[in-house]
Structures are given as C-alpha cells and as structure tokens.
Copies of this chain bind each other. A is one copy, B any other.
Amino acid sequence: MPTVIECVPNISEGRDEKRVSEIAAAVRAAAGVRLLDVSSDSSHNRSVLTFVADAAGVREGVRALFDAAVPRIDLRQHSGEHPRMGAVDVVPVIPIRGATVEQCVALSREIGAEIAERHKIPVYLYEDSASSEKRRNLAEIRKGQFEGFAAKMREPDWKPDFGPDSPHPTAGVVAVGARPPLIAYNVNLGTRDLAVAERIAKSIRHLGGGFRYVKAMPVELADRGQVQVSINMTNFRKSPLHRVFECVRSEAERHGVPIVGSEIVGLCPAEALMMAAEHYLRLERFSSEQVLELRLLEE
C-alpha cells in the first residue's frame, strides 16, 4: 500500500488573495504533493491548505510552504478573529493510509527540526507528537498569542522543542504534530428548540461525559426552522460516526424529536464511511482491499 499522509497547515493570511495563491502555488509545485484544497476566511484572516503526499512529499510540501509564507506574512501587521501565534500557525500531520501514528510523529519531529534550522523559528510539538502532557493541546500552546510569546518563552515550561528561545520577529512560532483526521459532522434536528440541541450536544461530548473524541455544540439553523448538533470528531476510529449518530438519535427520540439529516463538512477519509456501512450492514470479514477504487490507489 502506498503511503497517504494528509497535511493541513493553517497560515495567518486570509485576506490578500494574491499572497495566498502564491503560497498555495509553491506547495502545489512541490515534488510528490497533491494540493486538494485551499480555504480562506477573511474575518479570521487565515487560510487552511489541504495536501496529501507520502512522507518525503510532506517534507517537500512543508519546506515549500515555509519558504513561501515566511517572507510574505508579517505577524506584526496581522489582525483577525482567530487566535494565532505564527505566520504558519500550525502544521498537522495526519496518517490516512499505509502510515502509522508513530511514523507521523517521527515525520513531525523531522519537519520541526528542519523548520527551526532553516528559518530560525521556534517549534512546539503538539497532539500525538507532544513532549509533555501540557503541550498536547494546541490552545494551551497558543495562549498569549504572537504578541505574548516573547514573555511566555522566558518561562522554563515553554522552552520550544526545536529552535531559538525567542519568537521569530515576523513569523512567530509554530506548532507541528501528528493527529488523527478531524471530521466536521453535523446532525440536524426536526425542532426549533435550541435547548434540545444543547442537551444532546452536552450528552455526546467528552466534557459532558460523552464520547472521548467528540466535541459538540448547539447551532440554530434559522433559515431551515431547525437546530443542529455541530460536532467535531477528533478520532473517528475510536469514536466512530455511526455510534455518535445513534447516540444523537436515541437522545433526540427521548425528546420526541426526529433526526432530519446529517452532513459531513469538507473532506473525510473513506474509512469513516466504510465503518458506518460495515456497522449497519453487519459486514463480516470486510476489508478495504475489496473496494475497487481503494485498490487503484495501491501500487
């Protein structure tokens, strides 16, 4: 099986289309890289690039990204609603096929070391790559943001994993780490009562006693006259789509509310949908080797 690793770097530029497209073009041109998506948010002033490659390709893509982004983004001039600490803010490295979490952790360390060496940018390893429990959580690392990092880095707890002991003057710092694929998944309920969505969100999310790898919140869909449970699945292999869906269904039923539909926002790995088909059809001995299109991805 050929290796498929996904990389979804977030950069602190979401308004200047020319700059974003120059940076995207640099990534697209890197050897072995398939750039699948670029989404910019102007109120966040931030863009998310999605590309896939094998390990060598991810290294090439990230190198091209930094070479293009560092001279083009000056955090001293940056404002936006989303918290940020770097010109390239975060580089998630995500195993999809033929790569283990361990291999992606090792890859993230190589990438981190290279960024620090090449651009003199401090690097924090996060999520599965974190060097301490405290650094698993990106929000924890990012606290203080770009403006606060010079002070934060003087604390012994916040010495970076790679690179200098003070932020890069224009590019700040960056978090790099391996993590499972994220799936943005919403379930729409046949009611206008936001309190029902709120109770269900609470019951399924980790913080409320629900699934370990589920974050959820209620959202009003005014135009549809419905409410939504908006879900972030941070590890669909351990907290799968169908299990969360069934839990939402059971909780909604208890309130006499039907599920009208659900939606996957953006990209998701085939495995997440295969797992649902496997569950509901009660498939025995099923293997993704049996899926014609997935066989075509093999060498």
Contact = CB atoms under 8 A, between A and B. Distances in A.
Interface residues of A, number: 42
Query: Which residue of A96, A263, A270, A281 has the most chain B CB atoms within 10 A of its CB atom?
Result: A281
A6 B242 contact: no
A36 B295 contact: yes
A281 B272 CA distance: 12
Given A267-B291, A270-B291, A276-B277, A4 B296 contact: yes
B277 A263 contact: no
Nearest to A295: B36
Contact of A262 (B52, B263, B281): B281
Interface string A90-130: 00000011000000000000000000000000000000000
A267 B291 CA distance: 6
Interface in A153-185: 181
Nearest to A34: B296
A82 interface: no
A4 B282 CA distance: 29
A77 interface: no
A236 to B, nearest CB: 12
A263 B242 contact: no
B290 A268 contact: yes
A277 B280 CA distance: 8
Interface in A258-290: 259-264, 266-270, 273-274, 276-277, 280-286, 290
A25 interface: no
A188 interface: yes
Contact of A290 (B4, B52, B267): B267
Interface string A23-57: 00000000000101000000000000000100000
B296 A283 contact: no
A297 interface: yes
Given A188-B284, A262-B282, A273-B291, 4 more contacts: A96-B292, A261-B282, A263-B286, A270-B293
